[in-house]
Every structure is written in structure tokens, then in C-alpha cells.
Amino acid sequence: MNYNQPPYNDQRIFNFPWLQGSGPPFGGPPGQTGGGPPSGFSGGQQQVSAPTSPPPPFTPQQPQTQQAQSDFSVFAIDPGAIQGCLFQFTYIWLRWDSFWFFPVFVGRRSISGFRWQRNRWVYYGVDLDNVQSFQCY
């Protein structure tokens, strides 16, 4: 058996944009955090890039959410609701943190984009189950 060949006999081609670059997707070498999408990465037809300016200079008040009386209430943000915040400055409250965010992708169960951290934009993704609330500006 030749272990250098794929286990199939057809000519399948996989197009992973990050294989064209020098590192894994959305970051530098393994073990490093942060960074951004590799050059040439595009989300669909649109080129993905961080905002060129910082977020607004204020921290908004978290909206009141209706929760069950239990501390173990389930949070669920509807992907359709947060879809309206794509490519806009958005403040996100997670269960454990809150920050300015610039979403560029919304999936069925997750969201990704650029998080404002230490005075720069860093590529970041999170499960929608962990988002308590959000506000776009």
C-alpha cells in the first residue's frame, strides 16, 4: 500500500485557499493565536478584510434579555437576526466576555469576523450558543 497516495482512485481536487499560503487557516504557525485570514482568502465572491478604522469609542449597555429563572437557561441567537449585522460594527456579549466585533460570516451555528482586541482587529469565531446578546451600529 502506498501511504503517499489518497485512498481513492479518482482524480478528486480539494480547493483549500490556505494551502496556497504558508500556514494553517486563520492564523500563523500552529500554536500561535490571532492573526487573520491568509492573503487570498475570500468568503464566497467577496474579499474578506478587517475594518480600516477602530470601533466606536463607547461600550453600549447590554439589552435586557428574558431568561428563565434558572441559572442554566439556554441562550440561542437566531442566525437570521444577527445576519443583519454583517459588515457592521457590532457589540457582542458572550457568556464570559463582551467586545466589539465586525462579523463577516454567519452560519447556522456560528459566527466569524474580526474582534477588536488590544487596539487591533483579530480574526475570531464563536458558536452562536455562547452569544447572550448583540447590538449593531
Print burial letters for 102-116: b (CB count within 10 Å at least 16), e (below 16).
Answer: bbbebeeeebbbbbb
Task: Average the pLDDT over 105-131 and give the result.
Answer: 96
Identify whether the C-beta of residue 128 lies closer than 8 Å to the C-beta of residue 110.
Answer: yes
Q: Which residues pair with 116 in a beta bridge?
A: 121
Sheet holding 131-136, edge to edge: 120-127, 110-117, 98-106, 90-94, 131-136
Question: How sure is the predictor about 81, in pLDDT bands with cuts at 50, 70 and 90?
Answer: very high
Taken in order of first residue, the domains within the chain and their CATH numbers are: 76-137 (2.30.30.100)
Identify whether the C-beta of residue 87 lies closer than 8 Å to the C-beta of residue 133.
Answer: no
Q: Is 28 helix (H, G, I), strand (E, B) or coil?
A: coil
Task: Average the pLDDT over 41-69 and give the result.
Answer: 75
> What pLDDT, on the 0 to 100 scale, is given for residue 4?
42
Task: Average the pLDDT over 87-107 and give the result.
Answer: 96
How many whole angstroms separate alpha carbon 54 and alpha carbon 2?
52
DSSP string, 43-99: ETTEEP---SSPPPSS-PPPPP----SSTTPPP---HHHHHTTTTS-EEEEESS-EE
Residue 102: is its pLDDT beyond 70?
A: yes
> What pLDDT, on the 0 to 100 scale, is given for residue 86?
96
* pLDDT-wise least confident of 74-83, 101-110, 126-135: 74-83
> What pLDDT, on the 0 to 100 scale, is given for residue 65?
62
In degrees to the nearest 10, what's the CA dihedral of 76, 78, 79, 84? -130
pTM: 0.62
